[in-house]
Structure 1
């Protein structure tokens, strides 16, 4: 390690919503600065990196809520993750700097599965800017008797993205441990069973060391000392019993034990930091694999269509070989080509039989989904190229109805697409065969050459089909052997817990339940495909695959004589459309009944914006509503009276 990176100790902190990650960071920063509570009290202000909110009991027994500082990155809504985006907090530590990366809590109620996945992408994007990661820390409470599905999902999702070498850098923090005498036997027991399952199923050992005379990677803390300092600074007296001093001293020792675990001691060597480039390389390859999923599926279907067309055509040639007139008409090679139509923005289309055009190409029946029901469609959280995603219930074409207002079909017959494809037939004629036909030379010779050419093209197509299948098996092998977990096995159980939670609600939302069920079904299907491809990789004796080999395999696919250019163009199209969609934040989901228009243009704009915000809030898109409100009031040319009207109106809303 050298240069600026050598100065930083990078720590990634993860955990469920409600475990107190943000408060822990504040406490950690203070414990690293002061060995005793008395030392911290001698300063006029405590170190508060992140705004904090908590309740304390005063000396008189009154419960008071302390709200210290505010930050746009913190959300105080009950049930939401306090931290809304990945953000790092840096504070000095001797000649070094400690950088703790705070992350949104898992099981975030602002969209559950969709928001959790978005949060993980945000985390990976952030750590991708770093060179090294010294520790990946999971924060838990000390009295966990059963690990929640949300925590398993949290760990599983991260392990599916990390290079295997990061396993040694995983550590466990336990908060609020004073009541358990700075131990966590129940939580450690649960963790031990869960990590043993990972070792058995994935062949990767994640260390869990907590015994005396071991190099422990379990550390125990309490936040009471920091809370006391903040309350004291706010003029709230909670007393200073001996337990606060004891809590501070134990937490201080744990902080230093953790730093020693990273930097090493006389007894132990430093912990080698995880090279983030390894994980970034894996995730770049992983992203490419997922980007190629739809294009390669289209190409595999295209190749099979061509194989079927050639076989059908060969049979038809043989049937008329003794009929000179008909034979002359058939001495060509049928070619089915895929014509893609790029969509400037994603669109919602219908796939029902009523809205599908069936056509025949070279004896092969194909479907063309001609009905575009909503374009552009920026509805968030929709699975692309997946027919029947219940999220489409909220598409403008449905208008929160089960049937589409455009075509009349059920919303579950619809899908979200980046591009459209249509098969078209062309005819390939060998020049020598063509010359023989024109000069009326030996028809039998022309027939023989055409059949040979047909068989050669058939053989070439089947070779390319095998090459594509082998590449897909290589991709599966890569996912199986480079990530700690190739696919998040806990995702299914996590979805089950969300389904159970929604079913037990007072007024369960059917569309949300259907969505969770659909996501679960798609996940099971993805696992099944991965298992099949992995089995194929085993049969083909594919050895260890590196990210560079994935890129090389993609390069080889693009250079295939018959299908390479189409693979490249479909992949480019998919990526371009995906990047274009990322520039858009939301779709205005549906419209409320028309509001009376005001002759004042400013009031009209205000009323329209208020209607949009209400729509978003009613659809649980609170963050989007907040962003839209902020954009309106901060608009430079906005008249002051409009800003005041909007501010007063928004402040009186009953936000969820």
Structure 2
């Protein structure tokens, strides 16, 4: 018999206590009270390190470091969850899957956040439904800061609007506010008020949406098992923490059980639409240029092409060739450094002929973007303003990770009417019909591409909570100001330039996305159509393969289903229901 399964995603800023809460679950499902837990074996699933303090006879503080499992983080400040992990609690009548993911606002920076979010979506893609989406916030979050807005925006940006019915807010470290939200309630309310004002989305903070917990009881439980100092400790406050937090957790799970689950496909389709728009804008622009080049070639040389068709001569058309590079390559984009080749038909193609550094080891430099201040540190520049290879200023250089070159090839138009097998010479009328048909095919593919982009944009506009994280820009500016102060005191300028590059890249992507959204359709689109639209582009007979190749070069989105190796399973005795 198939057991009823509930899937709960646990998200939040780094340091809110997601992993500790999940460790607490394992004990809540086994022990009803802290006394029961202390008299039996410690249960833990996620390795962790933290510090607790005691006082000696003279009233002096003494810090104790407690470690459970093989904790691999370099710092206590780092997230305990480095990669997404599913913890599956199996009862005789149901299964609870808790999806623990890396924290947003990772202490290692924005780039790690981006990597983490892709990993989160890949893991969520294992499931078809989410019954609960728990967003953890700290009780100490009493101001609507840039960091607070950034982290909440980042979580909500990746959710479909329909997922909001399954969202719960969990206030952690709430012992100091007597297991009530306290001042953090005002902060969250202010954020949700802005959300309603800017996006027309209303979330009401009711006791069914907001829960207060504290993880100190589990931390004490760990210390009790390891350190003699804690075994004679008055733990009455921890008993209350256990009782209140366990009760809130069980109540949350009961509320979640009554909700209609959120279809994961809807949330994945939001992220897929955004990824397609952002990754295909430059690719489709290139494809569009190729289509127009071929259409113009056929139109301007109509009579010559018909004559070649009649005499089974080779006809050329244009395509894009890609060469994979193992390391980024520094090339020059100055006019004198761009190569031009003339084919047998007198047509010109261009490419980056000036390779100034064939294997550049600089990291964090955006691909196909210039000017890039970091390229001053490329070996080809030797720290000077001009390149030693070509003599051009470093701001005219850029990184590429694959060569993209417009080249002439044998046209499929010629092969489609090869008359060698029949021995008959194609008539002028038949040749004209073939050319006109090919022009219509090119026009059709251009229309499919344009319509798909409009529909992707429309879907994102209608269904995303946020099309992009508007707080990202302000957060980056804050980090840049901090780094500017560090540079004035002798800090590393490379870090500052890297942050500025990331901000510039974000602004560019945001502007491109806004242009796409401005042309969005009002047509209602089903989430299943997003994958169908993408596949429709990939299956275009002339340029579909090339669109797919360019898309796969620029995105690592990879949603997999029905995998089991991400699961850590544990049998439980006590039911929350």
Whether these two folds match at TM > 0.5 is yes
2:287 maps to: 299
Does 2:219 correspond to 1:236? no
How far apart are the structure 2 equivalents of 1:514 and 1:194?
Answer: 31
Q: Which runs of 5+ in 1 are unaligned?
A: 264-269, 318-327, 431-445, 581-656
Deviation of 1:115 after TM superposition, in Å, equals 0.8
How far apart are the structure 2 equivalents of 1:122 and 1:401?
Answer: 39
**Contact 2:276–2:551 (CA under 8 A) maintained in structure 1:** no
Deviation of 1:104 after TM superposition, in Å, equals 1.9
1:161 maps to: 158
How far apart are the structure 2 equivalents of 1:480 and 1:509?
Answer: 40
The secondary structure found in structure 1 opposite 2:114 is helix
1:383 maps to which of 348, 360, 366: 366
2:260 maps to: 272
Q: Which has the higher contact order (CA 8 A, sep 6+)?
A: 2
TM-score by length of 2: 0.78
How far apart are the structure 2 equivalents of 1:254 and 1:192?
Answer: 20
How far apart are the structure 1 equivalents of 2:379 and 2:555?
Answer: 20
* Number of corresponding residues: 532
Q: Deviations over 1:382-425 (max 9, x none)?
A: 43333345565676666787766655655542122334212449
The secondary structure found in structure 2 opposite 1:236 is helix
Change (3 A) 1:299 1:59: same
Does 2:544 correspond to 1:544? no
1:66 maps to: 65
> Which runs of structure 2 are paired with 1:425-440 in the superposition (5 Å)?
none
The secondary structure found in structure 2 opposite 1:75 is coil
TM-score by length of 1: 0.69
1:575 maps to: 552
2:215 maps to which of 213, 219, 223: 223
Deviation of 1:220 after TM superposition, in Å, equals 0.9
Does 2:205 correspond to 1:209? yes
Deviation of 1:57 after TM superposition, in Å, equals 1.9
Q: Deviations over 1:464-486 (max 9, x none)?
A: 43442222212211222233323
Change (3 A) 1:428 1:78: closer
How far apart are the structure 2 equivalents of 1:418 and 1:260?
Answer: 52
**Contact 1:296–1:567 (CA under 8 A) maintained in structure 2:** no
**Contact 1:473–1:536 (CA under 8 A) maintained in structure 2:** yes
Q: Deviations over 1:602-629 (max 9, x none)?
A: xxxxxxxxxxxxxxxxxxxxxxxxxxxx
Q: Deviations over 1:130-153 (max 9, x none)?
A: 233222222211132323434433
Deviation of 1:54 after TM superposition, in Å, equals 1.7
How far apart are the structure 2 equivalents of 1:227 and 1:54?
Answer: 9
> Which runs of structure 2 are paired with 1:120-139 in the superposition (5 Å)?
120-139=117-136
Change (3 A) 1:277 1:456: closer
Change (3 A) 1:409 1:185: farther
Deviation of 1:368 after TM superposition, in Å, equals 1.8
Deviation of 1:335 after TM superposition, in Å, equals 6.8
Deviation of 1:568 after TM superposition, in Å, equals 1.6
How far apart are the structure 2 equivalents of 1:157 and 1:70?
Answer: 30
How far apart are the structure 2 equivalents of 1:427 and 1:11?
Answer: 53
The secondary structure found in structure 2 opposite 1:338 is strand
1:255 maps to: 249
How far apart are the structure 2 equivalents of 1:250 and 1:466?
Answer: 60
**Contact 1:339–1:423 (CA under 8 A) maintained in structure 2:** yes
**Contact 1:22–1:102 (CA under 8 A) maintained in structure 2:** yes
Deviation of 1:288 after TM superposition, in Å, equals 4.5
Change (3 A) 1:94 1:201: farther
2:478 maps to which of 497, 507, 532: 497
Deviation of 1:250 after TM superposition, in Å, equals 1.8
How far apart are the structure 2 equivalents of 1:418 and 1:170?
Answer: 42
The secondary structure found in structure 1 opposite 2:542 is helix
Deviation of 1:260 after TM superposition, in Å, equals 1.8
**Contact 1:86–1:123 (CA under 8 A) maintained in structure 2:** yes
**Contact 1:419–1:574 (CA under 8 A) maintained in structure 2:** no
How far apart are the structure 1 equivalents of 2:173 and 2:413?
Answer: 78
